[in-house]
Structure 1
Amino acid sequence: MLVVMAGLPGAGKSAVADVLGRELPAAVLSVDPIEAAMLRAGVSRDQPTGLAAYLVVEAVADGVLASGRPVVVDAVNAVEVARRQWRELALRHDVPVAFVEVVCSDPVVHRRRLEGRSRGIEGFDEPTWAAVQRLRGEYAPWSGRRLVLDSMNDLRANVARALEFLPNPR
């Protein structure tokens, strides 16, 4: 199975992804640390490191799925081309794909979480609130089925809802 997380930075998707990964159990593949590694390796910030990180995660997920293990992808997935990338990967492996979008319904809390977090990803600058607001404006409407979780709700309750949403999660 392929579980694809989506949502704006700081919304809470990584927290859900990490717990889902332990519950399933599944490999959790996150785009941000891979992009940070590229930057630490000297790839210039003017290069499309975000796109490259999505492609690296896809390549790693391809190998994990080929071995018969489930994958949780942790990325913003704001545009349809990214979402299609995961659908096509699932089709190639003949596995179900489930999209789980995490939102934070309280903008004050969302901003406080974003501005107060430090994930410790060396070489990766946390996005600013202004950057998140720009990304919100670029966020493509969804087509197809997805579960929307509000991170204002309890993490365990959100994970339980996600597990219920997944096709044959165990």
Structure 2
Amino acid sequence: MDDLPLHPSAEAAVGTDGVVRDLAGDLAGALSDADGIAAELLDRLGADPLPGAVARADLLAAASLEADRLGDVLVRPEHLVLGWARATGSGLEHVRGELQGLMADHAQARYGALRPVPRADAARPPRAVLLAGVPGTGKSTLAEALAWRLRAPVFSMDWQLGALVPFGALRLDNTGPLAETNLIASTARQLQLGLDVVVDATGHRREARDRLRSVTERLGGVFVGVECVCSDEEVHRGRVEGRARGIPGWHETVSWEHVLRVKALWESWDEPHPVVDSAVESPGSALLRVLAAVGA
């Protein structure tokens, strides 16, 4: 395909030289002056993030492919950073992931800036309840039972992702940031209207849990986080491998290896919170404990 046209800020940054010599130097300085997203991306990548020199034509061709991949019609400064990684073979997937994380941060910050819709008849603050845990720990079962008791919607990460699969919207670099942003958006709107919400997600990243808590509290709500575990590995594995969830567009289950990978990524939950162990606690007992925490 032909190269996409340059946005004026990208054109100013890349200049007219035949070779761009040093991303951490001249081009990085120009990108920092031209565009906040590109400058933040370079900052995330650290000092001297991408090695080598590349011809201007090769850089623009690679940047154009990256812009097209992201559905843009112009090459912007952040696409130049992606193009540099692509043209030099220097950690392209990592750079793509960092950009998606950065875009998610910007989007989620906008939801955090929302304000509640005043209601004269509001009897109490809305509650956001996060049921978090690795796959197969019973969080979805508990989330659905809780939603029935609270008469609140459940926003499930897997259901939201399944809806996007037919459109080809999910990629390796954007699935996590997109899932977290969708959950923040759905939750924020309910809380803004003064309504309770239940969130069903892995919640393995401390930053994602903190962001959900922050958005809830800025919208005048009460955040309750619940960690779901299964202490019996044999029971846990049998549950994962034997289930069929029936989520349109999404996997019926995941592999045990995937569960172990998510476990390895789990970041500790430092503040006090209920922990529900589905290996030793009945669903009814777990529901009552969570309801007590929500009521408190």
**Normalising by the residue count of structure 2, what TM-score does the alignment of the two structures yield?**
0.55
Structure ID, larger Rg: 2
Q: Which residue of 2 aligns with 1:136?
A: 263
- How far the C-alpha of 1:160 sits from its partner, in A, is 0.3
Aligned residues between the structures: 168
Percent of aligned positions with the same letter in both sequences? 35
Residue of 180, 183, 188 corresponding to 1:57: 183
Residue of structure 2 in register with 1:103 after alignment:
229
Alignment-mate amino acid for residue 293 of structure 2: F
Partner secondary structure for residue 183 of structure 2: helix
- Relative CO higher for 1 or 2, CA cutoff 8 Å, sep ≥ 6? 1
Distance 2:167 2:173 in 1: 13
Note the alpha carbon deviations across 1:53-89, whole angstroms, 9 max, x for none.
2211211111111111101100000011111111111
- How far is the alpha carbon of 1:44 from its aligned partner? 4.0
For 1:155 and 1:145, locate their aligned partners in 2 and report how far apart those are by CA, in whole Å: 21
Q: Pick from 136, 142, 146: which aligns with 2:273? A: 146
Question: Following TM superposition, by how much is the alpha carbon of 1:36 offset from its aligned partner in structure 2, in angstroms?
Answer: 1.4
Question: What's the secondary structure of 1:15's corresponding residue?
Answer: helix
Q: In the aligned structure 2, how far is the partner of 1:111 from the partner of 1:22?
A: 28
Q: Who is 1:71 aligned against? A: 197
Select which of 116, 125, 128 maps to 2:242: 116
Q: Which runs of 5+ in 1 are unaligned?
A: none
Question: What's the counterpart of residue 171 of structure 2?
Answer: 45
Residue by residue over 1:22-65, the C-alpha shift from the partner in whole angstroms, topping out at 9 and shown as x without a partner, is 11121111011111112221124324123202211211111111
Q: Secondary structure at the match of 1:158?
A: helix
- Could you list the runs of 4 or more consecutive aligned residues of structure 1 that deviate by over 6 angstroms after TM superposition? none
- 1:102 deviates by 0.8
Greater shift, 119-128 or 12-21, is seen at 119-128
Cα distance, 1:61–1:44 mapped onto 2, change above 3 Å: closer
- Is 1:21 aligned to 2:157, yes or no? no
When the two chains are superposed, the root-mean-square deviation of aligned CA atoms in Å is 1.2
CA distance in 2, matches of 1:44, 1:78: 20
Judged with a 3 Å threshold, the aligned counterparts in structure 2 of structure 1 residues 102 and 44 are, in CA distance, closer, same or farther, namely closer
Question: Which protein has the bigger strand share?
Answer: 1
